[in-house]
Structure 1
Amino acid sequence: MRHDDSWHGEDLDLDAYLARIGYDGERAPTTAALFALQRAHVTTVPFENLEILLGRPIPLDLPSLQQKLVGERRGGYCYEHTLLFAAALERLGFGLTGVHGRVSLGADTLRPATHALLRVTTSDDDRGWLCDVGFGSGPLEPIELRPGTKVDQDGWQFHLERSGNDVWTLNQANANGWIDRHSFTLNPQYTVDYVVGNHYVSTHPRSPFTARPYAQRFTAESHHVLDGTTWTTNLPGGPSEVREVERAEIPRLLAETFGIVLNEEDAARLIAD
């Protein structure tokens, strides 16, 4: 059975992508480069669902991803981030496999697989790395795919576990302790699998992304979240600050804090009742 397992790295404008994320390091499939690339991507390209609320689809073909996330300097959600990052990694010679996760965030109900991740290998190391660039709240760097791995990345803490049935769970620490963020298996996923998940999260009435504006900006120093009209700022290992904003303030807040600049027409549509 033949699979289309290409990430279309040959079609990527690599120079433009690397300039977008501010990366000027080595262009080789090394572990050091992988760490630097993920940190540059997650701290530069924001998370957002605004196109859905503006009545437009979320295409996952590489030209559309480049135009939006690179050319227009916008953000996206996990499928967009992961496919763009995968194209860059493939172009640079990394080994990679798509993975699909089930977001839990502490919930005890079974949820569909709607979160895209990558398993990545490098040329100078025999370990496998979990690259999660599209969740909106880190990690800053890859996490070794080894049961029990626990990392502290500039105060942001993550813990990777594996259960007996080969289900991996990524836990993240917050002000209230540890929370299970999402679970996944290493069963290979392809772009067609992501297209199906993308259709669900961008169109289904029960998807959180079809109901209200949602944006995130993550850096080593802070994590900003806009959920509807609630703006939350989280600090690594510290308390959260929660503020309510007026709908009319949202375009300015998106531009100044999240790095998402809308044109006048889209800004007006986003805040219209």
Structure 2
Amino acid sequence: MSGSMWRGSDVDLDAYLTRVGYEGDVAPDLSTLRRLHIAHVDAIPFDNLDALIGRTEVPLDLDHLQDKIVRGGRGGWCLEQVVLMAAVLDRIGFTFTAFAGRTRIRTGSKFGPALHVALLVDVDGEKWLHDVSFGAHGLHEPLRFAENSLLEDDFSFDLVREETGEHVLRFIRPEEPAELYGFTTDVRYPSDFELLNHFCLTHPRSPFNHRMILQRTQPKVRHLLVGTALTEIRPGEPATVRELDEAEALAASEEIFGITLKPDDVQALRKTLAGP
């Protein structure tokens, strides 16, 4: 992809690398791709808070995303994070395409809207699934894009292909594999992201505009907060769910997810947590 599309030349690369705690040189190679992925998901949470605190838009322009995520210490939902990551990879010199997937783990359906976005990155003649924004159940490092590809670690994943031709990313857990999302490799562009972003922010059936969703992927633990229900996932163990009160849920945004909220934003979130 060219810099004119993803604006890689406009990225403050040093600031981004500091934000995610990446140390050392960068190059368009597999080592850099893997280390960037790990650093990003460890440092930057999934957060949908702008959709809940009176924002009339969630801009996807790179300048805004750098102010919010890189310099402001916030997270973002998948569209925001992938636009930022695409610009970073473009700046470093990687070749990649974007795609959209249909989330399955939270919906139980294979036929929902294709709202999740991620990247396929070319390195030395192979493609790698590079997805930094799926959240608590997502990849912590790139997965080779090939049928029956397997990533074995404390948290393991595989990639299977269905008879329909869709690829399915699965999270391997003790009870059974969880299908995260299905996708094809049809290329998506920044203009497609704008349409998906509008749906996520405004549509009455959007999963992201009526309750707080925070997610973080760290080396030995993953956390997911939906409303006031906090899920914790550790290697080789069934997930545990704990119901928080309002104060605990608001405190978790900083204590667990690393997000510092402004006083006005806290007030707006209290109304969201209280419900209609």
Tell me the TM-score normalised to structure 1 length. 0.94
CA contact (8 A) 1:150 1:157 kept: yes
The reply to whether residue 115 of structure 1 matches residue 109 of structure 2 is: no
Aligned match of 2:83: 83
AA aligned to 2:64 is S
2:177 corresponding residue in structure 1: 178
Q: CA deviation digits over 1:121-149, x for unaligned, max 9?
A: 12xx2110010111013311111111000
Would the aligned equivalents of 2:158 and 2:170 in 1 still touch at CA under 8 Å?
Answer: yes
Aligned position for 1:226? 225
Identity %: 39
- Aligned to 1:208, the other structure's residue is in SS state coil
Note the 1:251-270 alignment, pairs <5 A. Answer: 251-270=250-269
Write the distance in 1 (CA, Å) between the matches of 2:91 and 2:110. 38
Q: Which runs of 5+ in 2 are unaligned?
A: none
2:45 corresponds to: 46
For 2:203 and 2:196, the matched residues in 1 are separated by 10
Per the alignment, residue 146 of structure 1 pairs with 146
Distance 1:13 1:4 in 2: 14
1:150 positional shift: 1.1
Give the match for residue 168 of structure 2.
Answer: 169
| C-alpha RMSD over aligned residues | 1.6
The alignment partner of 2:115 has SS state of strand
| Residues 216, 257 of structure 2: 8 Å contact kept | yes
Tell me if structure 1 keeps the 8 A contact 2:110–2:182.
no
Q: Distance in 1 between matches of 2:41 and 2:47?
A: 13
Displacement, 1:4?
A: 9.5
Determine if the alignment matches structure 1 residue 72 to structure 2 residue 72.
Answer: yes
| Whole-angstrom distance in 2 between the partners of 1:86 and 1:4 | 10
Q: Is the 8 A contact 1:69 1:76 kept in 2?
A: yes
Q: Which moved more, 1:18-27 or 1:159-168?
A: 159-168
1:8 — aligned with what? 7
Contact 2:215 2:223 in 1 (8 A): yes
Distance in 2 separating the partners of 1:109 and 1:97:
23
| Corresponding residue number in structure 2 for 1:96 | 96
Aligned to 1:134, the other structure's residue is in SS state coil
**Would you say the 8 A contact 2:54–2:268 is kept in 1?**
no
Give yes or no for contact 1:250–1:271 (8 Å, CA) kept in 2: no
> Which residue identity does 1:110 align to in structure 2?
F
TM-score, normalised on structure 2? Answer: 0.93
Q: What amino acid does structure 1 have at the position aligned with 2:21?
A: G
Shift of 1:251: 2.4
CA–CA distance in 2 between the matches of 1:142 and 1:218? Answer: 14
SS of residue in 2 equivalent to 1:198? helix
Q: For 1:116 and 1:12, how far apart are their aligned partners in 2? A: 20
Query: How far off its partner does 1:250 sit?
Result: 2.4
Does the 8 Å contact 2:78/2:116 carry over to 1? yes
